[in-house]
Amino acid sequence: MIQVGIIGGTGYVGAELVRLLSNHNKVHISGISSVQYKGKSLSSIYTGFYKINELICESQQDVVEKSDLIFLALPSGLSQAIIEKAVQKNKICIDMGADFRFKNEDLYKKWYGRDFINHDLHQQSVYGLPELNREHIRKSQIIGNPGCYATSVELALLPLISGNLIEKKGIIADCKSGITGSGKNLTESSHFVNCNENFSAYKVVNHRHTPEIEETLSNVCRENVKLTFIPHLIPINRGILSTVYTTPKDTIDLKSIYKKYCEFYKNEYFVKVLPLGEVSKISNVRLSNYCHISLHYDEDNNKLVIISCLDNMIKGSAGQGIQNMNIVLGFSEKEGLAALPAVF
């Protein structure tokens, strides 16, 4: 039984990791850490775990020592130093934050205000989007789990970008996310009175997932991909809907594009390309590790529109982290993630 630890186990991502890993047949949660709740039981923070998981929050060092693989569910900037020490102890590390999502240090510094503290570690790490980097993930000791918005937009665009079917500039990603995407710490925008019965854009053309998406897609096609990314907050707990507007290089036949998507994702269990005429909806992926993609063509304006939906806490975060864990450990990718979406 593989021993798995979670550093930052009491935030939304950490708690979701605990919930999902509790249904995994090949790993055991060896420990969780929390600075704020050290010494307290997980069930005293989340009553849903009462008499199911009574783990006591301990120090980061204790979790590292007793674990074979470690999830780091921490704010950006806090994982690098921990991973540097963990790798020296031959631990596998999956960073749920942004510290290992970038290969370009200048981009990371511009958007996160920090430097790489160990360049060798970043050379060893891999961007953990399974549908793109599965073989590299399989051999890596450090995996940077993608951002939730980034996952949704990248999965929407990968078949088009890799097939050189659209213009690489002028892409627009109009995305909506539930409140959990803001994390557990309360902010002005996540106050009930500010988000209930409301729908608002935030960090307009200034969101940190923009450079992550651009770098990932640019690396795929070896051209400079640019997009306008606008996130919105909607008053639901979880879920992301991304409507992505692209310009085809040539006049297209939607049926042929649909076939290309089906071919591209034919071996991807967690990505479902919906039949033409269907529209992706958050409700159809909620509480699952699935991503639904639907395709639409505005012939009058030559715009190919892709709608991508996923649960931001699962395929957009904890579930994808576990999918990466399954890959690196040689398990079935479905292990612990086979739950079907909620039907209502």
Is 148 catalytic? The answer is yes
Confidence band of 344 (pLDDT split at 50, 70, 90): confident
pLDDT of residue 197: 81
Q: In the prediction, which pLDDT does 198 show?
A: 81
| Predicted local distance difference test score (pLDDT) of residue 311 | 98
Cβ(299)–Cβ(305) below 8 Å: no
Residues 193-202: tens digit of each pLDDT: 677 788 889 9
Q: How many CB atoms lie within 10 A of CB 131?
A: 18
Q: Are 97 and 78 in contact (CB under 8 A)?
A: yes
**Which one of the listed residues 148, 175, 291, 309 is annotated catalytic?**
148
As a CATH number, domain 149-312 is 3.30.360.10
Q: How confident is the model at residue 182 (pLDDT cuts 50, 70, 90)?
A: low
Tell me the two tokens of residue 36.
């704020």
- The region that residue 58 occupies, defined by phi over 0 for left and psi between -120 and 50 for alpha, beta otherwise, is beta
Q: 209 and 183 in contact (C-beta within 8 Å)?
A: no
57's CB contacts (< 8 A; 6+ apart) are: 9, 10, 32, 33, 34, 37, 38, 39, 40, 41, 42
Mean pLDDT of 292-307: 96
For the segment(s) 2-146+315-329, the CATH number from 2.40.160.60, 3.40.50.720, 3.60.21.10, 3.30.360.10 is 3.40.50.720
d(CA 22, CA 19) in angstroms, rounded, equals 5
Question: Domain coordinates of the chain in residue numbers?
Answer: 2-146+315-329, 149-312
Q: Which of 251, 293, 244, 245 is nearest to 268 (CA)?
A: 293
Q: Is the pLDDT of residue 187 over 90?
A: no
Mean pLDDT score, 95-114: 94
pLDDT at 103 over 80: yes
pLDDT band of residue 101 (cuts 50, 70, 90) is very high
Report percent pLDDT > 70 for the chain: 97
Each residue's pLDDT tens digit, 75-94: 989 999 999 999 999 999 99
Asked if the domains 2-146+315-329 and 149-312 are classified in one and the same CATH topology, the answer is no
Confidence bin at 15 (pLDDT 50/70/90): very high
Q: Work out the number of other CB atoms within 10 angstroms of the CB of residue 47.
A: 8
Please give the order of strands across the beta sheet that includes 227-233: 200-201, 227-233, 171-177, 240-246, 303-310, 291-298, 271-273
Residue 192: its pLDDT value, please?
76
pLDDT of residue 190: 66
Give the pLDDT mean for 269-283.
98
Q: What is the pLDDT of residues 208-252, one digit of tens each?
A: 999 999 999 999 999 999 999 999 999 999 999 999 999 999 888
Residue 184 has pLDDT above 80, yes or no: no
Q: Is the pLDDT of residue 171 over 80?
A: yes
Query: What percent of the chain shows pLDDT beyond 90?
Result: 89
Q: Across residues 12-37, what is the average pLDDT?
A: 96
Q: What is the mean pLDDT of the chain?
A: 94
